[in-house]
Structure 1
Amino acid sequence: MKARSIALLGMLALLAGCGGRAALRPQEGASLPPTPYAAREAPTAEELMTPGPQARPQRSDELLRRSEEREDDRFDLPPTA
């Protein structure tokens, strides 16, 4: 009984993983959003689904490899009373 349950769960997991991969398109009766101002053509569904640079900024992995003295900052002034 236990092996049968495990086999059933495995088959359900495999079935859940085989989703269809068709091109994106609007639902029936709906259309894509209007063309943005000053754009030559309306963006495609794929372009609308791609996040922009503000949504996914690039990561900077530059590591500080050694201690370095800071350069003198002429704008680092003490507070005035």
Structure 2
Amino acid sequence: MKRIAIAAVAALALLAGCGKRPVLRPADGKVLPPKAQTAAAQPGVGDLLTVPTQAKPSRDDELVTKSTPLQPDRFDLPPPG
């Protein structure tokens, strides 16, 4: 019986987290940051929340071009002991 109650409470907690979010806008009495001098227009909320490509670049090339076994290293010695 306890398991059912715990599962029901967990399901309700998860369901409560699925609420509709309001449209983002500045808080009362606050404004968006000023437009940069070189910008053509004032960025909106959506523009400010979008991650630029430089912050999260896409991966478009393979770093390992050929897979070959490593050559033995004569300096790779076990620790003294």
Into which bin does the TM-score normalised by the smaller protein fall? 0.5 to 0.7
Length-normalised TM-score, structure 2: 0.67
Q: What displacement does 1:58 show?
A: 1.4
The residue identity in structure 2 corresponding to 1:64 is T
Cα RMSD (Å): 2.0
Is 1:12 matched up with 2:9? no
Partner of 2:33: 33
Describe how 1:2-81 pairs up with structure 2 within 5 A.
2=2, 3-16=4-17, 18-62=18-62, 64=65
**SS of 1:6 mapped into structure 2:** helix
Deviation at 1:15, TM superposition (A): 1.1
Count the aligned residue pairs.
66
TM-score (norm 1): 0.67
Unpaired stretches in structure 2, ≥5 consecutive residues? 69-81
CA offset digits 1:23-50 (Å, max 9, x no partner): 2110000000000112121000000000
In structure 1, stretches of 5+ residues that fail to align are 68-81
